[in-house]
């Protein structure tokens, strides 16, 4: 295996086995042609980077059928509003032009409407890009990479802020990404992005964060080291609650802005907790294996009592849990979800039927596996009847 940034050889330290596309919800007649790959992870000691080995090509995931819509969660809508307000509060005096990478349905950028800030989104999936355009948000339906970015000569060194959320870890070629950022940003320009945090994944053993779209699980140590290689520096790092624990990284050109003391503090924390080295990976591997055993036992105990189990929310994350642990329709009867594009299809790999929320209300199971555990608060608030009648379960301690 080759590190995608240093191009040096590294050894994969763990495999989650044969895996389908995480968001590849499919119809029965597509079962035979389903694509699988081996989900393996490795770690570059040089830049502390946790990464996938093989992964499907981005076009296999982000296309006209991409079924993920940021606006499907109230919690995320409100998070993006406060993210946008934070950007405005901190940077508005120098902010004329902002670009978002992976702008999805425009949930973040719509917060800049009715301001003087010009915005532009880069979104590779046509269906979600079109939703954003319908909302009046200027969107380029292309991947954000140097090749596509440099076509926009008029934007060279004109962008004050580039943002992203849960998008940078989806981009395999980080060098091309950074070249694109370098092309666009003004001298004082800032790049802000937030991603699921490796330290939170270790803490919770939430291995379901690992799937084809998440090519990297970043940490403060890795981001610090990667950007240093390209003339940029990490100037701040702020923890976020989203996706079960994320980190917001603030990047600038070298020696232009003050570096916040958070950076040093977080780097120290990561060294103390083995988040920057292979030791942390090996401990995580052991924890995953134990978690799998524990989960299968928990599910078996419910099934021997002939009780029904449903899945709640057909998340991308659930694909890793179901396929790694070998959980199919013999254990989980159905998975309910709010996304029309997923309903009446089957889950990738294990082929559990995806049904509407109405089906859940009419066929309440004994237990519901909360696959969207990161939206627990929002979901428990609306599932008052099931809270009383049924039992929630997850593979992690929340
Ligand atoms: P998320 O955890 O953001 O997904 P992923 O693992 O794919 O990043 O959850 C999004 C999915 O969860 C989406 O299919 C919609 C579904 N969902 C519900 O069905 N009901 C809900 O109340 C919420 C918040 C999400």
pLDDT in tens, 117-131: 999 999 999 999 999
Ligand 1 center to 366 CA (angstroms): 21
Return the SS3 of 116. coil
**Strand pairing of 97-101 and 246-253?**
unpaired
Residue 274, helix vs strand vs coil: coil
Three-state DSSP class for residue 78: helix
Tell me the percentage of the chain whose pLDDT exceeds 90.
Answer: 93
Tell me the pTM. 0.95
CA of 312 to the centre of ligand 1 (A): 9
Check pLDDT > 80 for residue 57.
yes
Mutational test site, ligand 1, from 313, 368, 379, max ligand atoms within 8 Å of CB: 313
Atom of ligand 1 nearest to the CA of 371: 2
H helix intervals, the chain? 58-61, 74-91, 126-134, 146-149, 174-184, 198-204, 220-228, 261-272, 278-304, 316-325, 357-362, 376-382, 384-389
69 has a pLDDT exceeding 80 = yes
Decide if 14 contacts 40 (C-beta within 8 A).
yes
- 346 pLDDT exceeds 80? yes
- Is residue 375 within 8 A of residue 352, CB to CB? The reply is no
The span from the CA of 238 to the CA of 248, in Å, is: 5
Give tens-digit pLDDT for 146-192. 999 999 999 999 999 999 999 999 999 999 999 999 999 999 999 99
Nearest atom of ligand 1 to the alpha carbon of 379: 22
For range 68-75, the mean pLDDT: 88
What's the gap in Å between 232 CA and the centre of ligand 1? 34
Report the pLDDT value the prediction gives residue 94, as an integer from 0 to 100: 86
- pLDDT interval class at 349 (50, 70, 90): very high
Question: What domains are there in the chain, each with its CATH number?
Answer: 1-304 (3.40.50.150), 305-393 (3.40.50.720)
Structure tokens, 278? 């292979």
Rg (the chain; Cα; Å): 21
pLDDT tens digits for range 243-262:
999 999 999 999 999 999 99
Q: Specify the pairing of strand 49-52 against strand 216-217.
A: antiparallel
The SS3 of residue 329 is: coil
Nearest CA to ligand 1 atom 23: 73
- Give nearest CA residue, ligand 1 atom 17: 313
Tokens read off for 87: 């950007």
CA of 86 to the centre of ligand 1 (A): 25
Which residues fall within 8 angstroms of residue 281, CB to CB, at 6 or more apart?
A: 13, 14, 41, 43, 50
- In short, whether 356's Cβ falls inside 6 Å of ligand 1 is no
Name the maximum alpha-carbon separation found in the chain: 66
Q: Is 378 in the pocket of ligand 1 (CB under 6 A)?
A: yes
374 and 72 Cβ atoms separated by less than 8 Å: no
* Best CA proximity match to 175, nearest among 146, 214, 153: 146
**Residue 49, H or E segment:** strand 49-52
């Amino acid at each position: 295996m080759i590190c995608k940034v240093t191009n040096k050889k590294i050894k994969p330290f763990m495999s989650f086995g044969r895996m389908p596309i995480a968001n590849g919800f499919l119809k029965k007649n597509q079962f035979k042609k389903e694509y699988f790959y081996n989900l393996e992870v490795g770690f570059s000691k040089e830049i502390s980077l946790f990464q996938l080995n093989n992964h499907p090509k981005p076009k296999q995931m982000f296309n006209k059928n991409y079924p993920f819509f940021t606006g499907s969660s109230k919690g995320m809508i409100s998070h993006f509003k406060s993210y946008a307000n934070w950007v405005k509060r901190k940077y508005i005096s120098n902010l004329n032009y902002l670009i978002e990478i992976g702008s999805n349905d425009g949930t973040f950028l719509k917060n800049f409407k009715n301001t003087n800030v010009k915005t532009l989104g880069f979104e590779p999936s046509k269906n979600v890009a079109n939703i954003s355009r319908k909302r009046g948000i200027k969107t380029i339906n292309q991947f954000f990479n140097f090749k596509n970015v440099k076509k926009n000569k008029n934007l060279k060194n004109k962008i004050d802020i580039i943002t992203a959320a849960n998008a940078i870890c989806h981009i395999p070629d980080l060098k091309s990404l950074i070249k694109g950022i370098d092309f666009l940003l003004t001298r004082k320009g800032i790049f802000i992005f937030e991603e699921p945090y490796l330290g939170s994944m270790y803490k919770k053993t939430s291995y379901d964060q690992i799937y084809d779209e998440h090519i990297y699980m970043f940490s403060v140590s890795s981001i610090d080291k990667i950007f240093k290689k390209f003339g940029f520096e990490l100037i701040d790092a702020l923890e976020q609650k989203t996706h079960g624990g994320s980190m917001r990284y603030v990047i600038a050109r070298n020696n232009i802005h003050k570096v916040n003391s958070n950076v040093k503090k977080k780097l120290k924390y990561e060294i103390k907790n083995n988040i920057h080295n292979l030791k942390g990976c090996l401990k995580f591997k052991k924890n995953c294996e134990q978690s799998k055993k524990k989960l299968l036992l928990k599910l078996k105990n419910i099934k021997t009592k002939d009780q029904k189990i449903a899945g709640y929310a057909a998340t991308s994350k659930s694909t890793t849990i179901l396929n790694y642990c070998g959980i199919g329709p013999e254990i989980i009867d159905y998975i309910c979800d709010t996304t029309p594009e997923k309903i009446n299809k089957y889950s990738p790999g294990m082929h559990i039927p995806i049904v509407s929320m109405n089906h859940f209300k009419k066929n309440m199971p004994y237990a519901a596996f909360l696959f969207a555990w990161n939206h627990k608060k929002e979901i428990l608030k609306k599932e008052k009847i099931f809270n009383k009648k049924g039992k929630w379960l997850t593979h992690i301690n929340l």
